[in-house]
Amino acid sequence: MAAAPPTTSEKWSSDSHQYLAVEYDDTFLVYFRPSGETHFLNFLSYGMVHAVSSGPLSEEEILARMRTDFSLTAEELPETLVATTLSELDQAGLITALDAGT
């Protein structure tokens, strides 16, 4: 337990004032104000953006949260899928990494 992977020191956050979302049957159309882009997010990617809007969470915490919120097993929602989704969201600017130290 002592040696946590370096990525977990990072916490992710989002600002709900920066985006607008409309839900269409489990699909979310999201307008992101800073980039002026419109994205389609599915329940998972939107769930992640939404989850970190109320307070920064680490990757591990996000993973746990998604499994609980959507009643998914570890097998159904593997760690790697959350990791790649985080990186997609980060690239689009929808979520921001904060240093754990700050």
Partner 1 sequence: MSAPSNVASYDRRDLRAALRNGSFTLHLGPFSHLVSGASEPLLDFLSDTYRDYSVELTPSDVTDVLLRLEAPNILRRFIRRQITPNPGFKVPAVPLPLSMSPLAFEMGLNLSVALKCCRFINVHAGVVADKDGAIVMSAASGGGKSTLTAALLQHGYRLFSDEFALLGLDQPLLHPYPRPISLKQETIPVVRDMVGDNWISKVVTGTPKGDIAYYRARASDLAQDKTSAKAKLVLFPKFEKGVRPIARQLNPAEAIMRLVPASTNYSLLGEPAFHAITGLLKNIRAYEITYGSTIDSLRLVEQITDQKLV
Partner 2 sequence: MTEKPIVPDTSDSESETSEDSRIAERRQLLMLGAAGLPMMLTLKASAQQALVSQLTCSITLPKRVRILVDCDGRAWVGTRNIQYKNGKGFKVADIVKFKDKATYAFPAGDVPNYWLPDNCPIEECSNDDDDDDDDFDYETASAELDDLMRTSLPSQADGIALASIRMGDDDDDDDCDEDWIDSGYAFYKLSKNSTILPVDHTSGTGWSPQANKQGLFIALSLVYESRHGDAPGWPGISCIVSIINYFGTQN
Partner 3 sequence: MQKSALKQIVGIAPLPEKVMDRIELVRNADANHILGQMASANTSDVSDRLHDIFRNALLRAGHDHIMLQFEINRLEHALSGTGIEPVVLKGGAYVARGKKAAGGRRVSDLDILVAEDELEEVETRLKEAGWSPDEATDNEYDQAYYREHMHELPPLRHAKRGTIIDVHHRLLPKTARSNVDVALMQQSAMRIAENPVRTFDDVDMFVHSAVHVFADGAIDTPARSLVELYLLYIELSSDDALRLKTRAKAVGAIKAVSTALWAIDEFFDEDNALALSNEALAEKPNFILRWAIATKTLERPSAPLAKLLLYIRSHYLRMPLRLLVPHLARKAVAWRPTTKKPIELPFP
Q: Which does 81 bind (CB under 5 to 8 A by kind): partner 2, partner 3, partner 1, none?
A: partner 2
Query: Does 89 help bind partner 2 (rule: CB under 8 A)?
Result: yes
The C-alpha atoms of residue 70 and residue 44 are separated, in whole angstroms, by: 9
Nearer to partner 3, 32 or 66 (CB): 32
Q: Which does 84 bind (CB under 5 to 8 A by kind): partner 2, partner 3, partner 1, none?
A: partner 2
Query: Does 7 help bind partner 3 (rule: CB under 8 A)?
Result: no
Q: To 10 degrees, what angle do helices 79-92 and 59-69 make?
A: 110
The C-alpha atoms of residue 27 and residue 38 are separated, in whole angstroms, by: 13
Query: Does 100 help bind partner 3 (rule: CB under 8 A)?
Result: no
SS3 93: coil
| Interacting span for partner 3 (CB under 8 A) from 21-29, 31-39, 41-49, 57-65 | 31-39
| Interacting span for partner 2 (CB under 8 A) from 2-10, 11-19, 51-59, 80-88 | 80-88
Residue 8 · residue 60 · CB < 8 Å: yes
The C-alpha atoms of residue 10 and residue 76 are separated, in whole angstroms, by: 24
Q: Where are the alpha helices (DSSP H) in the chain?
A: 43-51, 59-69, 79-92
Nearer to partner 3, 12 or 66 (CB): 12
